[in-house]
Structure 1
């Protein structure tokens, strides 16, 4: 794995510990900036971030001996200077008091119940950027009995206070202005820390388990299509929410074309043998994006995909609004459809095409129905459906680049399959300006 595993193994050996290397959870490589890998949590809860610089990657050095690798044991992260503090709340009285106040309000803890202890555990961690944590607060009942109650909160640590405040403000607007039921309830920002608190939507270990979208949205899941439909309806409600959009960044087709062009260049760098196949596709994607209208912008999630869903007791919740923006609604639709594809599709496994087409059809139908229920015209619904495949193709380029650079092998067969999917999307969209009735329907080949 381009030196990351070897570097961590060498680090653990130098520590004189018998701990085994935790499983890999996160791996990203960006040209010129090197590779970042996150291992863990392991059995003892340990997490490690391994960074390998670009020079070492290009030279193919042994990770155990290369000078361009660093290993940091969580929560050591110079770019997230508050990480150590938020992971040890019992050692910071102001933080513990803020968490206690939020937990009492969210869980209706009676005043005579006393806080006994509070512990933090990492949920998702992006080195140098942000970290999602779960806090467990244990309260003891009044009197001399041994009654206890554990309450949980979720928190997201940002790099600066403005980011945390913006995240809390957005959730508050969605809950108060738009009255949507599918977000976590915001619980404020901890004073003096870039730490935004929300209610805990749960985990798979709970009595009523909560699952991430990918755990449910896949072939073989009996609940997949119902979750997809609920996700589509929630997205339609977001797009028609009328929530205050002041200060939001704009994402137009022209801007997305610029991103697609960068991904095209990366793809040619990573898999040069596929240039004759890739270039016509990437050029067509960029041209189609640049030709999209700019007067269709609405509030948008910005990175809508199954992994941004939580499913609990039949309800679907949307999470991670850090990319919230003003965009063509077709961006979110195309985003979801691009990532809806099961991994087996890249290997041409039987039944995966049929499953995806049926799931995509369920999503599009439910989305259009909910838009109509919210008063949107048939022309508006048709326009979003017409533009969505263009964004879908653009996001498939992102998936192709990720598959090419995530592991040491570029896996040209997988990349070629993703490019073929992008071509299918462009065929569905048709040339810019072509009438909808002239466009082919999605293929349902097995």
Structure 2
């Protein structure tokens, strides 16, 4: 047992009183890992089948209840099949009451999904897909179980996938494409019960296509598919070198939207070794965002999203940070207060279409240029929000990769976006950049990173410096009440690439 683990108390770790050490102990400590392995082994059909586990992601939340969630990929040794990898989710809550939780886990929906998974052979080699460990306040779920997404079991069944793809192709107007394979292997790419799921379908036939399935709740998938198609058409007619990842189709009854395999490299990876090619890609990203912000009315968009809504989300994402790093609490509260005060002095403008999660990870570099994906958070909002989030995203990746050149990277992006953009919009973008840096402390930094505390402090310091600069530059600005900016000049001819990639 390491010095960090010795004397660790479960109640203190779960409540957050033990700070970051307590959370790291639950995620990485020898004793909690041994308990998890024991429970997973008990769910399997035979002893000795459990292999290594890999922690992919973890989230800690304080409101409305303290909860730690962790997502693992677990290797399973299966005789004669070469083994497999299974996604699992583990959740700890300090205030669960055993009798209440037991009743909640024994709902008909959970039981029915388990029965269906067992019948289809999707559970094997697991005998059960859930387990609770009251002594450790722990609940385990094994894919493809999620009562919040009842279609997940069917969407994971290879026998059902072929029919679903045929329906989706019909819903897309019988769009031409490769012939559907007779069988698809299914892999869980993202398994986060209650939140989101992404599946990968690989054709069993040589040279067959790969398809990705994104699951939604209710009619949300149909709405997103419509939005992406409209935005992709607009971008294609006004921008060269950047395209949107278009849906292949959707299966409305399953609330599933299908996408093709996206080849290339995520843009954020090129920030490891930035150069002229990277600067050009960042400029293209700025041009594309400028075009998107000038898109005509897009159907079924939520919003408009207010500045106060953004503040609320930042506070929610960062609610646990002061608990694990007390010195950060006052800093976050001060930064949010300063941002709110500064925003009231800035001129505003009408909302436009916004991507909502505009960052380098959602651009992929390929021989044709860039492909933009993931419009799930799109809606009506201040266009400065997208600009600020991308600037903060660049700052985060340059810090992670420990590379110089952030200023040149941000300037390249703004060189593509800024022509025609008002100064006031760019000032608000810097304000949103500072807020996004604060939000990154709770949303983007890995809890099991040994330098988590140091990175939190550095991000907050960067946000503070930004607000200092903005405050100094806007002291004489008038209050924003009733102030509106004129619309940007309309797009004329399609934007053309300058030079080759």
Distance change in 2, residues 1:90/1:338 (3 Å): same
Is the aligned partner of 1:429 residue 2:470? yes
Distance change in 2, residues 1:12/1:233 (3 Å): same
Alignment match, 1:38: 71
Cα shift at 1:336 = 0.8
Tell me if the contact between 2:279 and 2:409 (Cα under 8 Å) persists in the aligned partners. yes
Q: Within 5 A, what are the aligned runs for 1:367-446?
A: 367-368=417-418, 372=419, 376=420, 380-402=421-443, 406-407=447-448, 411-430=452-471, 433-434=474-475
* TM-score, length-scaled by structure 2: 0.70
Distance change in 2, residues 1:429/1:54 (3 Å): farther
SS of corresponding position for 1:40: strand
Match of 1:159 among 217, 232, 236: 217
Match of 2:260 among 199, 207, 216: 199
SS of corresponding position for 2:68: strand
Alignment match, 2:186: 120
Q: Aligned equivalents of 2:319 and 2:161: distance in 1? A: 48
Is the aligned partner of 1:174 residue 2:236? no
Alignment match, 1:357: 407
Q: Within 5 A, what are the aligned runs for 1:277-296?
A: 277-296=331-350
Moved more, 21-30 or 270-279: 270-279
Q: Within 5 A, what are the aligned runs for 1:182-331?
A: 182-202=243-263, 210-220=264-274, 223-244=277-298, 246-262=300-316, 266-331=320-385
Moved more, 418-427 or 336-345: 336-345
Tell me if the contact between 1:177 and 1:243 (Cα under 8 Å) persists in the aligned partners. no
* TM-score, length-scaled by structure 1: 0.78
Q: Aligned equivalents of 1:336 and 1:51: distance in 2? A: 31
Alignment match, 1:150: 208
Cα shift at 1:195 = 0.2
Cα shift at 1:291 = 4.5
Distance change in 2, residues 1:21/1:235 (3 Å): same
Moved more, 423-432 or 187-196: 423-432
Q: Specify every segment of 5 or more residues in structure 2 that has no aligned partner in the other structure, as ranges.
A: 1-23, 76-82, 97-131, 478-501
Match of 1:8 among 16, 19, 36: 36
SS of corresponding position for 1:22: strand
Q: Aligned equivalents of 1:411 and 1:184: distance in 2? A: 33
Matched pairs, number: 398
1:22-51 CA distances to partner (integer Å, 9 max, x unpaired)?
A: 322221111124111111265722211111
| Greater RCO, 1 or 2 (C-alpha within 8 Å, sep 6+) | 2
Distance change in 2, residues 1:129/1:346 (3 Å): closer
Tell me if the contact between 2:301 and 2:380 (Cα under 8 Å) persists in the aligned partners. no
Alignment RMSD: 3.3
